[in-house]
Amino acid sequence: MTGKIKICLRGISIFCLIVFFVMGLLGCTATRHTVQKTVIPLLDTSVDDLVGHLLKQKNGAFIKDGLPGALLVITGLTELAPTDYDLLATTSFLYCAYGLFVEDENNEYAISLYKVGTDYGIRALKVNNSKFRKAVESGTPVYKAVKLLTKDDMKALTWAGLNLAKRCTLQLDRVELITDIQDGIALIKRSIEFDPKYAWGAPWMAMGIVYAVLPPYCDLGGGAEPSWNAFASGNKARNGEFGLCDMFTARYLAPLLKDERWYDELNNRVIEMDPCKLDGGQCVVNELAKQKARYNMEHKERWF
pLDDT in tens, the chain (304 residues): 454 444 444 444 444 444 444 444 444 454 444 444 545 555 556 677 777 777 788 877 777 887 888 788 788 878 878 899 999 999 999 999 999 999 999 999 999 999 999 999 999 999 999 999 999 999 999 999 999 999 999 999 999 999 999 999 999 878 777 889 999 999 999 999 999 999 999 999 999 999 999 887 666 778 999 999 999 999 999 999 999 999 999 999 999 999 999 999 999 999 999 999 998 889 999 999 999 999 999 999 999 9
Domain covering 196-304 assigned CATH 3.30.365.10 in the classification: no
Rounded to an integer, what distance in angstroms lies between the CA atom of residue 234 and that of residue 87?
A: 26
Indicate the helix (H) or strand (E) that contains 246.
Answer: helix 243-248
pLDDT for position 57: 80
Query: What's the predicted TM-score (pTM) here?
Result: 0.85
Rounded to an integer, what distance in angstroms lies between the CA atom of residue 132 and that of residue 15?
A: 33
pLDDT for position 244: 97
Distances, alpha carbon 280 to alpha carbons 5, 47, 75, 173, in Å: 21, 20, 28, 39
Rounded to an integer, what distance in angstroms lies between the CA atom of residue 12 and that of residue 169?
A: 37
DSSP letter at 81? Answer: S
- In this structure, are residues 73 and 107 in contact, taking their beta carbons and an 8 Å threshold? no
- In this structure, are residues 53 and 3 in contact, taking their beta carbons and an 8 Å threshold? yes
pLDDT for position 69: 80
pLDDT for position 145: 98
- In this structure, are residues 151 and 195 in contact, taking their beta carbons and an 8 Å threshold? yes
- What separation, in Å, do the N-terminal and C-terminal C-alpha atoms of the chain show? 46
Q: Where are the alpha helices (DSSP H) in 56-146?
A: 60-80, 85-102, 107-128, 130-137, 142-145
pLDDT for position 164: 96
Please tell me the chain's helix, strand, coil percentages from 3-state DSSP, rounded to the nearest 5. 80, 0, 20
